[in-house]
């Protein structure tokens, strides 16, 4: 079968996968966790091959670190699967039940989205996490890992698929593709693939978004801001900024630009600059900032504030107050996560009301934008789109709903002609 | 300002529109209703011009009927606006409130989507209904009516915009465009337009979907099915099929194909054929159907069952039972609305579990698929997509959500290093 035929068959199978009961899905997750432990040697052997190939081809240290699949990663994977099994089923929840008329009852019930394509770079543990989320949410999944992790992903996928099918999930509900040309083929299958979730570099996500008509969930960029108001606790501001910049600079929820109220700039900037220097963070800024503290490289112009550094670099800018901060964020941000540090209530209320981002925080680090930290148990990624799920996307974001009506032979003509009438009563 | 600049300005304004309080939005709706009544003569005069032009250019009778804006349509519009004012505000609802740790509280709150482009053909009353929905849901709206209704739409729009601004809505939150080239320009503005809602013919909606990267909510096709099970009350089946086919054949929720269990075909088909003939419905079918009753035109082959007739034509097909019916619907339908007529419970459960459509009904007409009939008060349209809102889309479908966190200086490092831990408690 061609990829197109396989995906079409998966689409026709997806209602069967969607109707799979909770017990079977949980059994699949637990069996997969057991099988991963049982076949650890095979998995580690495959990972050694990937690591060897990566070493030879001179791949960056950070990528090699993500590529490594060791006992720690295995434990995180099996714990994640077992935790997923313990979570409530996101499918089959009745979110509306309404009597439209006598013996005419409308319900709205959560259902899986259908066929989801997940395309991710480097990290092989993403294969396990995402397969688990798709199984629990009753979605069929097409999984494509990065070329660097192909040996590891192949073994991980075969372990999970076998376990899933042994537990009674429909054969063919999970599919792996490994060639880049196969991805290009899948990007064309908007009739059969309901959703794409790309995880990887900005350029990679942008490529996917630009080459398909399938809805894409995720984010190309994470340009997060922290605004330090004149009323801020400055010690707290320094601490939060350091956390948001340095704990994982490559993460999408790391801060890229700090906006500072002009009122406190003379006092606060030198203090912040010292802490950033101690943490090896390079500071960039426009002429105004450069007039107060030393900045690296050329001074910034407005268009530079669109930059996601992704490393230990931070842009600074002064603003008149919360209104200018909000305007800057809405114009230069990526609608991911933005925070205000303030002691007074008024600027916080404004910031909460007017910043148009998936996450808007007061007095805490932008790095809390994460499915685990929100208590969702797991996430498939963070969405900066406005449609469907927004922010960290957990199991609920992999579902949609369907309306069911139970009737007793009712016709619309009876209502439009006035012989019967609706009396809407929520049950 | 160019269209691009106007839309970009609207995007930057959209958070202000989003933060508008309920009282102001309701006042805008009520003032708009009053103003429409006060300026009825001006509206009717504009409509006469459109009707005259339409008469001269030989437009179809059905289009002219939709174009006419008379006292009845005016009343429906003003009643609709006043009803919208009485509905609860869909914005600002807290749908999750969770203590992540001491003094670290996560909330999820509903917010408008932002900037919505609504493009509709012929019916000028859609201009009023959709403006009202956008105002109530706090969205900025770009509205484009059909060329045939341009005079009427221009007056309706100016009445609504003036009323909205008098009530205190931000100037520029509603915008009208009238040229087709302007639409082509808007289709390119995926950075600033969050959602497009096209309403009109299949070809029109398909054109929009094919020419933009902006998410589109709606449906290109409505290929609805009714499956008549062997256990059906046959009198009920005939009655429901007639209702679903004849009460508004051009509607997207009208039935196009009826699937009949082979077990009862010999008895049921002649009975159905007689009722359809009495109602002037032309029957089409494949060879098997043609062997039992007379069919119009050539006998159908499988690929013909993809057709949305939109008039008094109905396709028939025999199936072995509910399993084959479900397979046919999932393969040939448009995931809009499909119904089963059955007396026994088992086929109904299967049908509900496995038909992958926005609406799945038992023993009632497919024509119940409608926002008013679901009790949503109003609808912007019916969505057959899997992402975001599905089925009839009311006010809730025009909102998304944002996550807010209130902290006290918390940093992620404290949690990853184990100095603090989350204790998730829903409030």
Which residues in chain B touch residue A407, judged by CB atoms under 8 angstroms apart? Answer: 361-364, 368
Residue of A nearest to B415 (CA): A373
Closest residue in B to A328 (Cα) is B12
Domain boundaries, chain A: 3-90+112-217, 224-368
Tell me whether the CATH fold assigned to B3-217+380-402 matches the one assigned to B224-368. no
Instruction: Decide if pLDDT at A52 tops 80.
Output: yes
Is residue B62 predicted with pLDDT exceeding 80?
A: no
A16 CB neighbours in chain B (<8 A) are 354
Q: Please enumerate in sequence order all residues whose Cβ is within 8 A of that of B255, keeping only pairs 6 or more positions apart, or say none.
A: B224, B225, B226, B241, B244, B245, B314, B339, B366
Q: Torsion angle of alpha carbons B81, B138, B193, B182, nearest 10°?
A: 40
Using pLDDT thresholds of 50, 70 and 90, give the confidence band for residue B286. Answer: very high
pLDDT in tens, B404-421: 999 999 999 999 999 999
Best CATH choice for the domain A3-90+112-217 from the list 3.40.605.10, 3.40.50.10610, 3.30.565.10, 3.40.50.10540: 3.40.605.10
Q: Regarding predicted confidence, which is higher, A92 or A180?
A: A92
- Per CB-CB distance under 8 Å, the chain A contacts of B409 are 233, 236, 239-240, 363-364
At B39-61, the pLDDT tens digits run: 999 999 999 999 999 888 887 77
Tell me the per-residue pLDDT of A88-124, one tens digit each, with 9 for 90 and over: 999 999 999 999 999 999 999 999 999 999 998 768 8
What proportion of chain A, given as a percentage, has pLDDT over 70? 100
How many whole angstroms separate alpha carbon B380 and alpha carbon B382?
Answer: 7
Contacts of A296 (CB under 8 A, 6+ apart): A282, A283, A284, A313
Closest-CA residue in chain A for B382?
A: A403
Residue B122 has pLDDT above 70, yes or no: no
B88's enclosing H/E stretch is none
What CATH topology corresponds to B3-217+380-402? Aldehyde Dehydrogenase; Chain A, domain 1 (3.40.605)
CA B149 to mean position of chain CA atoms: 21
* Residue B326 reports pLDDT greater than 70: yes
pLDDT in tens, B215-224: 999 887 899 9
pLDDT digits (tens, 9 = 90+) for A125-175: 888 999 999 999 999 999 998 888 999 999 999 999 999 999 999 999 999
Mutate which: B93, B403, B416, B418, vs A, most A CBs within 10 A: B403
CB contact under 8 A, A239 and B215: no
Contacts of A120 (CB under 8 A, 6+ apart): A126, A127, A130, A144, A145, A146, A198, A199, A200
Residue pLDDT, tens place only, B243-262? 999 999 989 999 999 999 99
Q: Per the CB < 8 Å rule, is A409 touching B359? A: no
For residues B287-293, give the mean pLDDT.
Answer: 97
* pLDDT average, residue stretch A165-188: 92
Chain segment A209-240, per-residue pLDDT in tens:
888 889 999 887 899 999 999 999 999 999 99
B114–A356 C-beta distance less than 8 A: yes
Which of A386, A419, A423, A426 is the best mutation test for B, with the most CBs of B within 10 A? Answer: A386
Residue linked to tokens 């096709």: B221
Find chain B residues with C-beta within 8 A of A427's C-beta.
none
Q: What average pLDDT does range A351-371 have in this prediction?
A: 96
CA distance B47 to chain A (A): 26
Residues of B whose CB is below 8 A from A405: 359-362, 364, 368
Counting residues of chain B whose pLDDT is more than 90, the rounded percentage is 81
Count CB neighbours of A329 within 10 A.
Answer: 30
The verdict on a CB contact (< 8 Å) between A407 and B363 is yes
- pLDDT value at residue B60: 79
Q: What topology does CATH give the domain A224-368?
A: Aldehyde Dehydrogenase; Chain A, domain 2 (3.40.309)
- Mutate which of A22, A349, A368 to disrupt the B interface (most B C-beta within 10 Å)? A368
pLDDT value at residue B55: 87
The DSSP annotation for A54-87 comes to HHHTT--HHHHHHH---HHHHHHHHHHHHHHHHS
* Residue B340, beta-bridge partner list: B227, B362
**Helix or strand run (H / E) with residue A202:** helix A202-210
| In chain B, % of residues over pLDDT 70 | 100
Looking at the partner chain, which of A330, A407, A412 has a beta carbon nearest the beta carbon of B12? Answer: A330
Q: What is the DSSP string of B207-239?
A: HHHHT-SS-B-S-S---EEEEE-TTS-HHHHHH
Q: Is B247 within 8 Å of A388 when comparing Cβ atoms?
A: no
Calculate the alpha carbon distances from B261 to A147, A365, B227, B235, B264 in Å. 50, 61, 8, 15, 6
pLDDT for res B360: 98
pLDDT in tens, A295-342: 998 999 988 999 999 999 999 999 999 999 999 999 999 999 999 999
For residue B12, pLDDT over 80 is answered with yes
3-state DSSP call for residue A30?
A: helix
Q: Which of B106, B317, B219, B46 is nearest to A372 (CA)?
A: B106
Q: Are A247 and A419 in contact (CB under 8 A)?
A: no
B15 vs A12, A354, A375: nearest CB: A354
Instruction: Identify whether the C-beta of residue A148 lies closer than 8 Å to the C-beta of residue A180.
Output: no
pTM: 0.91
Q: What is the mean pLDDT of chain B?
A: 94
Q: What is the pLDDT of residue B374?
A: 94
The whole-angstrom distance between B56's CA and the closest CA on chain A is: 33
Which of B19, B113, B217 faces A353 most closely, judged by CB atoms? Answer: B19
Rounded to a whole number of angstroms, the distance from the CA of B366 to the nearest CA of chain A is 9
Predicted confidence (pLDDT) per residue in A273-308, tens digit: 999 999 999 999 999 999 999 999 899 998 899 999
Phi/psi for B97 (5° steps) reads -140, 115
For A216, which DSSP code? B
The answer to whether B412 contacts A368, with C-beta atoms less than 8 Å apart, is: yes
B309 pLDDT higher than 70: yes
Number of A–B residue contacts, CB under 8 Å: 230
Taking the CA of residue B53 and the nearest CA in chain A, the distance in Å comes to: 32
Nearest to B100 among A114, A369, A373 (CB): A373
Per-residue model confidence (pLDDT) at position A259: 98
**CB atoms closer than 10 angstroms to residue A102:** 10
């Amino acid at each position: 079968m061609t990829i197109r035929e396989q995906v079409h068959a998966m689409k026709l199978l997806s209602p069967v996968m969607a109707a799979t009961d909770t017990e079977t899905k949980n059994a699949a997750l637990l069996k997969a966790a057991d099988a991963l432990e049982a076949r650890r040697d095979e998995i580690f052997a495959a990972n050694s091959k990937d690591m060897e190939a990566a070493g030879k081809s001179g791949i960056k240290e950070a990528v090699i670190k993500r590529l490594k699949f060791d006992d720690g990663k295995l434990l995180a994977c099996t714990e994640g699967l077992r935790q997923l099994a313990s979570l409530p089923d996101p499918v089959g929840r009745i979110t509306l039940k309404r009597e439209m008329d006598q013996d005419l009852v409308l319900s709205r019930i959560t259902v899986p989205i259908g066929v989801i394509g997940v395309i991710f770079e480097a990290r092989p543990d993403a294969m396990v996490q995402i397969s688990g989320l798709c199984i629990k949410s009753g979605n069929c999944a097409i999984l494509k890992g990065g070329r660097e992790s192909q040996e590891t992903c192949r073994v991980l996928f075969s372990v999970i698929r076998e376990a899933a099918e042994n537990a009674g999930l429909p054969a063919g509900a999970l599919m792996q593709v490994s060639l880049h040309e196969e991805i290009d083929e899948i990007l064309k299958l908007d009739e059969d693939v309901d959703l794409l979730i790309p995880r990887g570099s900005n350029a990679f996500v942008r490529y996917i978004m630009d080459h398909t008509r399938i809805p894409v969930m995720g984010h190309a960029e994470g340009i997060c801001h922290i605004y330090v108001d004149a009323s801020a606790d400055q010690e707290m501001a320094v601490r939060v900024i350091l956390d948001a910049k340095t704990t994982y600079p490559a993460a999408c929820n790391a801060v890229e630009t700090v906006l500072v109220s002009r009122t406190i700039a003379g006092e606060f900037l030198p203090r912040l600059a010292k802490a950033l220097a101690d943490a090896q963070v390079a500071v960039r800024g426009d002429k105004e900032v450069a007039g107060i503290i030393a900045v690296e490289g050329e001074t910034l112009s407005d268009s530079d504030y669109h930059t996601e550094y992704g490393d230990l670099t931070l842009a600074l800018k002064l603003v008149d107050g919360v209104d200018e901060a909000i305007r800057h964020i809405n114009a230069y941000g990526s609608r991911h996560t933005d925070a205000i540090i303030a002691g007074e209530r008024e600027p916080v209320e404004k910031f909460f009301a007017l910043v148009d981002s998936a996450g808007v925080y007061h007095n805490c680090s932008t790095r809390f934008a994460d499915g685990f930290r929100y208590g969702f148990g797991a996430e498939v990624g963070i969405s900066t789109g406005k449609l469907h799920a927004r922010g960290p996307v957990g199991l609920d974001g992999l579902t949609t709903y369907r309306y069911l009506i139970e009737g007793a032979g009712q016709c619309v003509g009876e209502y439009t002609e006035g012989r019967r009438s609706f009396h809407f009563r929520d049950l």
